[in-house]
């Protein structure tokens, strides 16, 4: 257990650390991890307000996690609940008040809210004590709700949450809310960048890029854990990879609608024009102000390279479009990058992008059955795709499927 001074120090450090994380999904993960450790809670969930509802956005559960095979993650589905006084989270969002509940199965008679037992039933978990508090911005707007579940003593017995921890937790919640607000804004700006291009129906485009980003992060993490890369390094890379992956096709802004939206197969010339979206995208980040620019440029340029060297655009300078290698194919074109010559993030997003493209309806094709898609990915292991990334993809397939459900085409 932490003493008061340690707790304060932890909160100060947390403010700093949380401020550095820019991506919303990773931020929620970090906030919940830190908040749970702070009060020794076995589980917890975060709801984020969206369109006057609360979206169940992220959850952790240590007891359930320990029952999973090593390296597997807890699968959860997103759902929404109304903001009213009937549910615990709804009440907190509505009133902006904190609820410290000793036992959710023994609520006082005079409260309007009740605990929804379905949460426990589907997960075969027993919720008992709960601390639910609002994520409030400095303007006083509630942007979400954080629920901490089952505080534990040293012997892992469940106990109520300490009354004395509430002010510190509120302080923490305020920092977290600010960071969440900023991260939501960053993501909204990226999505707006993509929408401005009017690539397709705005909603569809947003869902595709969010999915490709989620799959990429899962593939990377599975691969990196297998390679023994430290969690700290992994977290840092996940953050930049997610944003870079969202922008993998941003170069399509420069491709004419006639080609982009053609409801049929492209001819040879159109394919050549289409290929430009790789280096045109990379150019947007050529100033390389940050790790993020570096990653975004890497992903845009390399997500259509192939492991066997037959991808595009190959060894060219994205600015001048001049070859940067003497290597030529039989047809005289500049060689594609091959194997590990292709930067890491490019090899990852290649798998994520094709998986999502094949799952989706396009102006020019129907979605494929999943079995056919998986067969195709397996078949292309070591040909189109890095074999290690295909292995990582299959390792994380169940998490990838649940990520897909979070971002449906509207």
List interacting residues with Fe ion (CB under 5 A): 249, 353
Judged by CB, which is closer to ligand SIN: 34, or 116? 116
x/- map, 266-285, ligand C2E, by CB under 6 A: x-------x-----------
- Could you give the 3-state DSSP secondary structure of residue 42? strand
By CB under 6 A, is residue 383 in contact with ligand C2E? no
Binding of residue 357 to ligand C2E (CB under 6 A): yes
Q: Does the protein bind ligand C2E through residue 352 (CB under 6 A)?
A: no
| Helices 24-39 and 4-20: angle between axes, nearest 10 degrees | 180
Decide if residue 389 touches ligand C2E (CB under 6 A): no
CB closer to ligand SIN out of 338 and 362: 362
Q: Give the shortest CB-190-to-ligand C2E separation in angstroms.
A: 17
CB of 302 to ligand C2E, least distance (A): 12
The tokens 């909603």 sit on which residue? 203
Tell which residue, 31, 74, 352, has the closest CA to residue 174: 31
Residue 36 interacts with ligand C2E (CB under 6 A): yes or no: no
Q: Which residues bind ligand SIN (CB under 6 A)?
A: 45, 87-89, 115-116, 119, 127, 147, 199-200, 204-205, 208, 249
Site string for ligand C2E, 291-310 (x = CB under 6 A): -------------x------
Kindly write down the DSSP assignment for every residue of 250-294, as one continuous string: GGGGGS-HHHHT-SS---HHHHHHHHTHHHHHHHTTTT--SHHHH
As measured in angstroms, the least distance from the Cβ of 328 to ligand C2E is 21
Query: DSSP per residue over 93-131, as a string?
Result: HHH---EEES-TTS--TT-S-B--THHHHHHT-----EE
| Neighbour tally for 112: CB within 10 Å | 12
Q: What does 204 bind: ligand SIN, ligand C2E, Fe ion, none (CB cut-off 5 to 8 Å by kind)?
A: ligand SIN
- 246 contacts ligand C2E (rule: CB under 6 A): no
> Shortest approach of ligand C2E to residue 183 CB, angstroms?
26
CA distance 177 to 173: 6
Using CB under 6 A as the binding rule, whether residue 171 contacts ligand C2E is answered as no
Sign of the torsion formed by the C-alpha atoms of 405, 181, 345 and 234 = negative
Sequence-distant (≥ 6) Cβ neighbours of residue 148 within 8 angstroms = 35, 36, 39, 41, 43, 44, 130, 131, 132, 161
* Cis peptide bond upstream of 107, omega within 30: no
Cα separation, 318 vs 313, in Å, equals: 9
The verdict on 364 binding ligand C2E (CB under 6 A) reads: yes
Least distance from ligand SIN to the Cβ atom of residue 88, Å: 3
Restricted to residues 133-162, the positions that interact with ligand C2E (CB under 6 A) are: none
Binding region for ligand C2E (CB under 6 A): 262, 265-266, 274, 304, 353-354, 357-358, 362-365
């Amino acid at each position: 257990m932490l003493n008061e001074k340690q707790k304060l120090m932890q909160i100060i450090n947390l403010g700093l650390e949380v401020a550095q994380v820019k991506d919303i999904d990773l931020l929620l993960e970090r906030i919940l991890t830190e908040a749970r450790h702070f009060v020794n809670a076995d589980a917890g969930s975060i709801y984020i307000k969206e369109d006057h509802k609360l979206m169940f956005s992220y959850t952790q559960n240590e007891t359930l996690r320990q029952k999973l095979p090593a390296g597997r993650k807890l699968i959860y589905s997103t759902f929404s609940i109304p903001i009213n006084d009937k549910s615990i989270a709804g009440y907190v969002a509505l009133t902006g008040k904190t609820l410290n509940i000793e036992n959710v199965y023994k609520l006082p008679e005079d409260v309007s809210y009740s605990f929804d037992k379905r949460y426990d039933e589907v997960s075969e978990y027993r919720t008992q004590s709960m601390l639910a508090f609002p994520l409030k911005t400095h303007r006083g707007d509630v942007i979400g709700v954080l629920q901490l579940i089952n505080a534990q003593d040293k012997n892992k017995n469940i106990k109520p949450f300490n009354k004395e921890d509430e002010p510190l937790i509120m302080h923490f919640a305020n920092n977290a809310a600010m960071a969440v607000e900023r991260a939501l804004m960053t993501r909204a700006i990226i999505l707006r960048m993509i929408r401005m291009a009017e690539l397709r129906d705005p909603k569809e485009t947003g869902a595709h890029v969010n999915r490709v980003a989620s799959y990429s992060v899962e593939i990377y993490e599975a691969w990196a854990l297998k390679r023994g890369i430290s969690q700290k390094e992994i977290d840092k890379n996940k953050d930049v990879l997610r944003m870079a992956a969202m922008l993998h096709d941003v170069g399509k802004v420069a491709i004419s609608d006639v080609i982009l939206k053609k409801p049929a197969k492209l001819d040879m010339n159109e394919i050549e024009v289409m290929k430009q979206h790789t280096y045109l995208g990379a150019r947007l980040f050529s100033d390389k102000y940050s790790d993020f620019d570096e990653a975004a440029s890497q992903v845009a340029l390399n997500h259509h390279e192939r492991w066997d060297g037959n991808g595009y655009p190959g060894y060219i300078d994205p600015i001048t479009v001049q070859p940067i290698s003497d290597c030529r194919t039989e047809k005289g074109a500049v060689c594609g990058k091959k194997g590990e010559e292709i930067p890491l993030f490019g090899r990852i997003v290649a798998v994520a992008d094709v998986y999502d493209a094949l799952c989706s309806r396009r102006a020019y094709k129907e979605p494929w059955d999943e079995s056919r898609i998986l067969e195709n990915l397996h078949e292309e292991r070591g040909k189109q795709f890095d074999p290690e990334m295909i292995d990582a993809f299959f390792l994380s397939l169940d998490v990838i499927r649940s990520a897909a459900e979070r971002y449906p085409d509207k």
